[in-house]
Each structure stands twice: as C-alpha cells, then as structure tokens.
C-alpha cells in the first residue's frame, strides 16, 4: 500500500514535524497540521516529498471542520499537538491554565478524532496514535522513586490532561476495534523541543520519540490496540 495518507497535528515543529518527516520517508502522503499557515508552509518545504499543508487549530471548531472537509480518506491520524502552559502543582494552579491545557491536549484530540472519523473509516487499515506522555502515567506518578513521580514537576494541568488522554485512547480503541482500527497512546520520552526546553541537557532527539509514533502508525493488522507504549516499543504503565 503506497497510497496511504496521514495527518499529524501540530506538525510544524518539534516531535510532530519529525513524525511527518518519517512518515513521508515511509512513502505516505502526509497532511502537515499547523495552526499557522506560514509556519506550516515552512515545515512542508523542509520536509519535502509527500508533505502537504493542512491549516488546523485543534481548539477551533471551524478550523477543525474546514480541515476535515479537505480530506477524503485518511489511513493514519497522529494526535500530536500539545501544550504545557502551567508548570505548577495542583494547589497553586489556576483554572484558566488548566482549561487551556485541556482545550488543546484533550478536547482538541476529541474534536479532531471525531471530525476525521469518516475519512478514517474509508481506510482499509485505520490507525490512530495519541501522543501522550510518561508524566500522564498514574502508576509512575504515584511512585516517589520514579523519574515521573509527581514531585518531578511538569505541572498538574499538563500531566492530568495526558492521563485523561490515555483514558480517551481506551474508549476509542475498544469502541472502534470491531471496525479494524488500532488506537494507541505513546510516551515519546523527554525530548529537547520548545515545549520541554529543560530536557535539552539530559534527553534525546525528537526524531527518536517520533519513531515510536511511526511504529504505532504503521502497525500491521495483527498489532495491538488500546495500548500505552514508550517510544522504544516497550509497554508504558497506565
């Protein structure tokens, strides 16, 4: 199958751009989702080949509807767009930061996924990858000795939005399994990007995290659904 198409949200930079680049290298035509047309055009130029601009703000219902109207069939949806705007823990957090985080990281995924479901249903092998985070793992958050213990930071809004995204992943996976969908969540690992500048010293290349998304995007029919995986393919703890 070399006429496969993908959409990666928030693909104008960071991990999303790398996911788009790697999917193009695999021979897919990739809609590069970007809320800003110029930033998106720049990414499309840099990726080249089968990259196409799709202007898409995941928090804007009109933008989501307009983007979905442009895509007839979709084989792969990668819900990658995400923000981390408030690094505070729960007692100090403000409601506005929480709401904005959930608008993008959770409600954005719901809106985009539902809008593109008709296009995904036209695929012979539909795949959805939700770019989550190891910090969204309740198991790891609760373990004071773990790298992603609550005390390690990253903020209650961001972390809990990813926990909720993991839950949403299970709902889509189990509901859509009879139709042949594979829906999985990814923990891409700490990566040096604009979202997570603090990782620069200790952590890795966004391309390595992106490879984990590409693996889930290209799963064979025998592959898993309803899973939460680290970037290297090992199961992540819920």
Interface contacts to ligand NDP, rule CB under 6 A: 9-10, 12-16, 35-36, 39, 56-59, 80-83, 104, 108, 131, 133, 188, 190-191, 193-196, 199
**Any residues with CB less than 8 A from the CB of 17 and at least 6 apart, and which?**
11, 32, 43, 46, 47, 206
Token output for 4: 């496969």
At closest approach, how far in Å is the CB of 178 from ligand NDP? 28
Using the minimum distance from each CB to ligand NDP, give the nearer residue, 35 or 215: 35
Using the minimum distance from each CB to ligand NDP, give the nearer residue, 37 or 177: 37
Using the minimum distance from each CB to ligand NDP, give the nearer residue, 33 or 50: 33
- 172: annotated active-site residue: no
**Any residues with CB less than 8 A from the CB of 208 and at least 6 apart, and which?**
189, 191, 231
Token output for 177: 């399994």
Q: Which of 102, 148, 158, 231 is catalytic?
A: 158
At closest approach, how far in Å is the CB of 202 from ligand NDP? 11
Using the minimum distance from each CB to ligand NDP, give the nearer residue, 6 or 56: 56
User: CB-hemisphere CA count at 13 Å for 160?
Assistant: 16
Point out the residues that are catalytic. Answer: 158
């Amino acid at each position: 199958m070399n006429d496969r198409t993908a959409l990666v949200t928030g693909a104008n930079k960071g991990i999303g751009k790398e996911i788009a680049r790697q999917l193009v290298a695999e021979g897919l035509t990739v809609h590069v989702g970007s809320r800003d047309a110029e930033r998106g055009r720049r990414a499309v130029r840099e990726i080249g080949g089968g990259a196409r601009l799709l202007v898409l703000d995941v928090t804007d219902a009109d933008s989501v509807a307009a983007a979905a109207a442009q895509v007839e069939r979709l084989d792969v949806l990668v819900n990658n767009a995400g923000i981390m705007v408030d690094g505070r823990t729960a007692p100090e957090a403000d409601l506005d930061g929480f709401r904005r985080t959930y608008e993008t990281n959770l409600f954005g995924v719901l809106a985009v996924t539902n809008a593109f479901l008709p296009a995904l249903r036209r695929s012979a092998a539909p795949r959805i990858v939700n770019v989550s985070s190891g910090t969204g793992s309740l198991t790891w958050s609760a373990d004071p000795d773990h790298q992603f213990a609550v005390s390690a930071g990253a903020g209650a809004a961001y972390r809990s939005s990813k926990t909720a995204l993991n839950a949403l992943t299970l709902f889509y996976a189990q509901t859509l399994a009879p139709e042949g969908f594979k829906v999985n969540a990814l923990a891409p690992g700490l990566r040096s990007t604009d979202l997570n500048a603090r990782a620069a010293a200790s952590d890795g290349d966004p391309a390595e995290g992106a490879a984990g998304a590409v693996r889930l995007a290209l799963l064979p029919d025998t592959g898993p659904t309803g899973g939460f995986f680290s970037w290297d393919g090992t199961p992540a703890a819920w």
